[in-house]
Amino acid sequence: MRPLSPVLASLANVFRIPITRAPVRPTLTNEILKSTSPRSFSTTSALSKRKEGYRGDRRILLIRYFLHHPLTPRPLRFSRTRFLRHWTIHRAWNLYQANQRRTHELELQRQWQSMQAACEELRTGAGDGGKLFRKSMIKTGVFRDLVPIEYARLQTEGPGREGWNHEWKRD
Amino acid sequence: MAASEPSRYLARSLPRALVPSSRHQALCWRRNASDQASSRSPSAAISDLESTSLSTSVSDDVVKSFKPIERARARKTQLPRSRYQFRSPKYDRGPLHPHRPPPPSDPSSRVFVPGPFSLPRVEQTWQSTVASDILTLLYVHNPPGFKPPPKAPRLRTWDESSPYHKNRPLRGPRGGDVLRLLRKPITFNNIPKIERITLHSYVKKAATENSSWLHVAGMALQAVSNVKVETFKSKTSVAQWHIAPGRDTVAVKAELRGENMQHFFGKLVDIVMPKLKDWQGVKGSSGDSSGNITFGLEPEEMALFPEIEVNYDMYPPKMIPGCHITIHTSAATDKDARLLLSAMGVPFYGKLVN
Name every residue whose Cβ is closer than 8 Å to that of residue B298 and which is 6 or more positions away in sequence.
B322
| Mean confidence (pLDDT) of chain B | 85
Write out pLDDT tens, residues B284-340. Answer: 999 999 999 999 999 999 999 999 999 999 999 999 999 999 999 999 999 999 999
pLDDT at A2 over 80: no
pLDDT at A23 over 50: no
* Most B-contacting residue of A105, A147, A165 (CB-CB within 10 A), to test interface: A147
Report phi then psi at B184, rounded to 5.
-90, 155
Work out the minimum CA distance from A109 to partner chain B, whole angstroms.
5
Give the domains, in start order, of chain B with CATH numbers. 194-349 (3.30.1440.10)
Q: What is the pLDDT of residue B16?
A: 47
Confidence of residue A167 (pLDDT cuts 50, 70, 90): confident
Which DSSP helix (H) or strand (E) runs through A129? none
Confidence of residue A150 (pLDDT cuts 50, 70, 90): confident
Residues of B in contact with A94 (CB under 8 A): 105
Q: Please name the residue of chain A whose CA is at the shortest distance from the CA of residue B266.
A: A154
Name the residue among A83, A108, A153 with its Cβ closest to that of B132.
A108
Q: Are strands B348-349 and B282-283 parallel, antiparallel or unpaired?
A: parallel
DSSP of B42-85, one letter per residue? HHHHHHHHHHHHHHPPPPHHHHHH--HHHHHHH-SSPPPPTT--
Q: What is the pLDDT of residue B19?
A: 43
Per the CB < 8 Å rule, is B189 touching A105?
A: yes
Name the residue among B141, B215, B339 with its Cβ closest to that of A63.
B215
Mean pLDDT along residues A166-171: 81
Write out pLDDT tens, residues B201-240. Answer: 999 999 888 899 999 999 999 999 999 999 999 999 988 8
Q: Please name the residue of chain A whose CA is at the shortest distance from the CA of residue B270.
A: A154
Residues of A in contact with B269 (CB under 8 A): 154
Burial of B199 (0-12, 13-18, 19+ CB in 10 A): buried
Name the residue among A108, A137, A139 with its Cβ closest to that of B135.
A108
Q: Give me the percent of chain B exceeding a pLDDT of 70.
A: 83
Q: What is the pLDDT of residue B87?
A: 80
pLDDT at A37 over 80: no
**What secondary structure letter does DSSP report for B152?**
P
pLDDT at B139 over 50: yes
Q: Determine the distance from the C-alpha atom of residue A65 to the mean position of all C-alpha atoms in its chain, rounded to a whole number.
A: 14
Residues of B in contact with A111 (CB under 8 A): 132, 135-136, 188
Work out the minimum CA distance from B216 to partner chain A, whole angstroms.
7
Q: Please name the residue of chain A whose CA is at the shortest distance from the CA of residue B339.
A: A146
Q: What is the pLDDT of residue A39?
A: 56
Write out pLDDT tens, residues A73-93. Answer: 666 677 778 888 888 998 999
Q: Do B255 and B328 meet the contact criterion of CB atoms below 8 Å apart?
A: no
Q: Give me the percent of chain A exceeding a pLDDT of 70.
A: 69
Confidence of residue B249 (pLDDT cuts 50, 70, 90): very high
Higher-pLDDT residue of B101, A53: B101
Residues of A in contact with B122 (CB under 8 A): 154
d(Cα A70, Cα B81) in Å, to the nearest integer?
32
Name the residue among B138, B216, B348 with its Cβ closest to that of A60.
B216
pLDDT at A94 over 50: yes
* Most A-contacting residue of B109, B113, B118, B127 (CB-CB within 10 A), to test interface: B127
Q: Which of A94-108, B56-70, B239-253 has the highest mean pLDDT?
A: A94-108
Write out pLDDT tens, residues B29-59. Answer: 555 555 554 444 455 555 555 555 556 788 8
Q: Please name the residue of chain B whose CA is at the shortest distance from the CA of residue A87.
A: B107
Domain ranges of chain A: 78-136
Name the residue among B108, B132, B352 with its Cβ closest to that of A76.
B108
Of B310, B300, B263, B301, residue with least CA distance to B282: B301
Write down the ipTM of this complex.
0.71
Which residues are bridge partners to B196 per DSSP?
Answer: B257, B328
Name every residue whose Cβ is closer than 8 Å to that of residue B110 and which is 6 or more positions away in sequence.
A75, B88, B90, B101
| Mean confidence (pLDDT) of chain A | 79
Q: Please name the residue of chain B whose CA is at the shortest distance from the CA of residue A75.
A: B110
DSSP of B251-302, one letter per residue? EEEEEEEHHHHHHHHHHIIIIIHHH-TT---EETT-S-SSSEEEEEE-HHHH
Q: Any chain A CB within 8 A of the CB of B91?
A: no
Report phi then psi at A140, rounded to 5.
-65, 135
Confidence of residue B255 (pLDDT cuts 50, 70, 90): very high
Q: Please name the residue of chain B whose CA is at the shortest distance from the CA of residue A100.
A: B127
Mean pLDDT along residues B118-128: 94
pLDDT at A124 over 50: yes
Q: What is the pLDDT of residue B238?
A: 87
pLDDT at A40 over 50: yes
